[in-house]
Amino acid sequence: MKIVNKVGDTISQSVNFIIDKNRQAAQLNRLKAIIQSETEALDNAYIALGKQYLNILEGKPSEDIDTSVLRENIENSKLRLKKARARYEYTLKYGIPSAGTDVEDTPEDAECKKEGCTTEKKADTEEDEQDITIAYADPTAAIESDAIDAEPVTAESEEKSDESK
């Protein structure tokens, strides 16, 4: 009986895993569609604004489209696009966010907000992050290079270099 329960639990966990992955894929597809739609809306608003500007430069009578409306549409589209991209990145990294989660925060940041962490703790983690440069040299390539003087170092050559100083 114990084996049957274990098999049932394993199957149940597998099914739940598949359901969660399907939900995540559906969420990502919806976000891709939103990103594409907002990008097209943003492009169309820029095109309309460019047409208005060209008409003004050419001295043609402008259409009845108010540029303030176009600028407002552009700003709204930029904001929605930013939110959709942030949610997409969050969903890729951490899965579907729970209700009320600010998608621009990592789960650690959300936990910190709940517990009331100080900004000093956050600043400490930012100080620990530094950019480093790693240089790599291939010693065999350096030795085989024609640019290096292949003269062996001898006691006489060292004495000559000491005398020249």
Q: Judge whether 52 and 63 are in contact, CB under 8 Å.
A: yes
pTM above 0.95, yes or no: no
* CA atoms of 73 and 65, how far apart (whole Å): 12
- What pLDDT, in 10s, does the model give residues 36-73? 999 999 999 889 888 888 888 888 776 666 778 888 98
- DSSP code for 98: P
Q: Give residues with Cβ within 8 angstroms of 92, minimum separation 6.
A: 28
Write down the residue that tokens 């907002």 correspond to.
38
Q: What is the per-residue pLDDT for 141?
A: 56
Q: Residue 142: is it exposed, middle or buried by C-beta count within 10 angstroms (0-12/13-18/19+)?
A: exposed
pLDDT in tens, 73-92: 899 999 999 999 998 998 88
**Helix-helix angle 67-94:2-58, to 10 degrees:** 160
Residues 91, 52: contact at Cβ < 8 Å?
Answer: no
Per-residue pLDDT tens digits for 148-157: 555 555 666 5
* In the chain, domain spans: 2-108
Cα–Cα distances in angstroms (integers) from residue 62 to residues 7, 49, 55, 56, 59, in the given order: 72, 11, 6, 7, 8
Q: Which residues contact 73 (CB under 8 A, 6 or more apart)?
A: 41, 45
SS3 assignment, position 62: coil
Distances (CA, A) of 115 to 101, 106, 110, 118, 132: 15, 14, 9, 9, 33
Token pair belonging to 59: 């001295």
